[in-house]
Amino acid sequence: MLPDISDYPQLAASFQWRIPARFNMGVAVSDVWAATEPDRPAILDLRGDAIETLTFGALAERSTRLAHALALAGVARGDRVAILLPQMAEVVVAHVAIYKLGAVALPLASLFGVDALDYRLADAGVRALITDAPGLAKVASIRANLPQLDVLISTDGPDGATLGFAQMLERGSPTFPAADTGPDDPAMMIYTSGTTGPPKGALHAHRVLLGHLPGVQFPHEGFPKAGDRFWTPADWAWAGGLLNVLLPSLYFGVSVVARRFDRFDPEAALHLMSRMQVRNAFIPPTALRMLRAIHAAGRRYNVDLRTLASGGESLGAETYAWGREAFGLTINEFYGQTECNLVLASNNAMGVSRAGAIGKAVPGHVCDVIRPDGTRCEADEPGQIAVLRPDPVMFLGYWNNETATEAKFIGDWMTTGDQGRRDADGYVFFFGRDDDVITSSGYRIGPGEIEDCLLRHPAVEIAAAVGKPDAIRGEIVKAFIVPKPGFQPSADLAADIQAFVRTRLSAHEYPREVAFIDRLPLTTSGKVIRRELRDRG
């Protein structure tokens, strides 16, 4: 945890990791609080108009019962147990139970299709799956491909060979002892997005929770404080939802709001934050840009946030400035990836905040921008963002893929595949993924700056920029734009948008092609799927 020091240089210089010799994430986020405050709310689960509260006492007991029931069903320490559910209290019980058993949790997004599930379940050799009726329907068609999948559990009740979640809790003992795990013992596996080949399972140890604590406290400005209550629209199957919000909040005894969204709805999100008195939120940049389309969003809905953080894509100066106007606070941007998350961040209260920048290294982490040979770049020299090992938030390696694990490192630098630069004051600026950076006429162009400029045009509600192959320039910039209500797509509007960007950025950065679309393709974590846009040509 971060000490109470308000000066960033002093805080960064004085911070030291204190990782205990024995540590179990499941015990840390449930039993510790249950022992002293069993009635303290852990999860506030919105189901329609009703709010179901899961207390820390109930979380501790139910997770222990489920851990025992899984053991009775033959699930052993080290086995992979998949969780295919939307945001709901049962997800938390399942995670904690798996950690207590010493097994490995494999969170899966409920919006995954059959092919995505088939690959991940087979590659991980999943032994048990906790899901619901829609999840069971998807898995039914691929069950023959999964010979190691012995145990199916449904939150919607038993069905033939499928066990019921509630019945599993009844079967288990409330006194089952938690596994005696060390900080380096495997605890969870999250699959990467697969931007460079098939998705890879990033295996994390129990220490990953401890490694995240400073990264949550820093952008949320002294988290936790009295009255704090956390919510994110990000799926808990994603590292951003699970490790940036859910587990750290429970570790600190802070209630987390759960709500199932098929896709992000800005009006519903504002209503939720107001109704549930949310004080801390993590909202990805694309979702923030959708909120930006709603006039006076914070005031209209009486949203009273103490902190608002964003990450996963470049926030941009335009959305950064809008945050102050809409919510009366500064959006603290942060950065990380599945393999090593929440290592760079902003903290406006501490004076670490700059428009367009991710922020600086979170105390405890060593991050920089490096060249292909592993040497550090000079100030403002473009390169690859990297993190120095050892680091408690860093993954153990890719599941059954030692070659890919070794390729992830240059010496002791864990490479991210993200391009950026560090300025003379230590702020890191994110350009984009290696495969998102556009190379046109010898220039390397990050899509974030173009998208930020596009948002300033009065007709643009949301936009994404990608590279399109070009015989002369290598690539040209193509913009996909969702227009604001009242603006009709036309050649004249496209030309006006092109001129707008050209005069504000440069001749080589403006979009030479503009396409108008109804909706941007987004991942379950709220990121733009640029690969899909590139495939449209």
How does pLDDT run across 249-285, given as a tens digit for each residue?
999 999 999 998 777 888 999 999 999 999 999 998 8
331 contact partners, CB below 8 Å, separation of at least 6: 288, 308, 309, 310, 315, 319, 320, 323
How confident is the model at residue 452, as a pLDDT?
A: 83
User: Which of 90, 172, 78 lies closest to 131, judged by CA?
Assistant: 90
Of the pLDDT bands very low, low, confident and very high (cuts 50, 70, 90), residue 440 is confident
Return d(Cα 262, Cα 340) in angstroms, integer.
28
SS3 per residue for 228-287: CEEECCCCCCCHHHHHHHHHHHHHCCCEEEECCCCCCCHHHHHHHHHHCCCCEEECCHHH
| Cβ 215 vs Cβ 347: under 8 Å | no
Residue 468 backbone dihedrals phi, psi, to 5 degrees? -120, 130
Q: Does residue 246 contact residue 210 with C-beta atoms inside 8 Å?
A: no
Contact between residue 119 and residue 165 where contact means Cβ atoms under 8 Å apart: no
Q: What is the pLDDT of residues 379-392, one digit of tens each?
A: 999 999 999 999 99
Listed range (349-353, 450-454, 525-529) with the worst mean pLDDT = 525-529
User: Do the beta carbons of residue 223 and residue 307 sit within 8 Å?
Assistant: yes
The pLDDT tens digits for 197-214 are 578 999 999 999 999 999
Distance CA 198, CA 260 (A): 28
- Please provide the average confidence, as pLDDT, over all residues in the chain: 92
Global pTM reads: 0.86
Residue 275, Cβ neighbours under 10 Å: how many? 15
* Residue 444 scores a pLDDT above 80: no
Query: Closest by alpha carbon to 57, among 77, 80, 31?
Result: 31
Q: Which domains does the chain have, with CATH numbers?
A: 23-181 (3.40.50.12780), 436-536 (3.30.300.30)
Backbone angles phi, psi at 170, to 5 degrees: -65, -35
Phi, psi of 500 (to 5 degrees): -60, -45
CA dist 254 → 61, 218, 278, 327, 475 (Å): 18, 16, 11, 22, 48
pLDDT attached to residue 262: 75
Q: What are phi and psi of 418, to 5 degrees?
A: -110, 135
DSSP string, 451-510: HHHHTTSTTEEEEEEEEEEETTTEEEEEEEEEEPTT----HHHHHHHHHHHHHHS-TTTS
Write the DSSP assignment of 434-445 as a string of letters: TTT-EEETTEEE
In this structure, which amino acid lies at residue 118?
Answer: D
What pLDDT score was predicted for residue 384? Answer: 95
Instruction: Round to whole Å and give the CA distance between 420 and 427.
Output: 10
Is residue 461 over pLDDT 90? yes
Q: Each residue of 293-327: pLDDT tens digit?
A: 887 777 788 999 999 999 977 788 888 999 998 99
Question: Hey, how many other C-beta atoms are within 10 angstroms of the C-beta on 418?
Answer: 20
pLDDT for res 435: 66
Closest CA to 55 of 69, 68, 44, 67: 44
Banded model confidence at residue 457, pLDDT cuts 50, 70, 90: very high
pLDDT score recorded for residue 443: 62
Nearest partner of 422 among 452, 446, 453, 386, judged by Cα? 386
* Confidence grade of residue 111 (pLDDT, cut at 50, 70, 90): confident
pLDDT at 196 over 60: no
Distance CA 245, CA 251 (A): 10
Q: What is the pLDDT of residue 314?
A: 78
Share of the chain above pLDDT 90, in %: 75
pLDDT at 515: 96
Q: Are strands 128-131 and 151-154 parallel, antiparallel or unpaired?
A: parallel
Is the backbone of residue 338 left (phi > 0), alpha (psi -120 to 50) or beta? alpha
Query: Which pLDDT belongs to residue 258?
Result: 97
Q: Is 221 a residue whose pLDDT tops 90?
A: yes
Residue 442: predicted pLDDT: 58
- Sorting pLDDT into bands at 50, 70 and 90, what band is 59? very high
Query: Residue 427 has which token pair?
Result: 């702020």
Q: Which two tokens stand for residue 214?
A: 């400073």
Note the pLDDT tens digit of each residue in 513-535: 999 999 998 876 667 888 889 88
Candidates 182, 168, 186; CA nearest to 63 is 168
What does the pLDDT read at residue 64? 98
In angstroms, the CA 316 to CA 309 distance is: 13
**How is residue 194 annotated by DSSP?**
-
Interior CA angle at 448 toward 496 and 278, to 5°? 110
DSSP letter for 317, please.
H
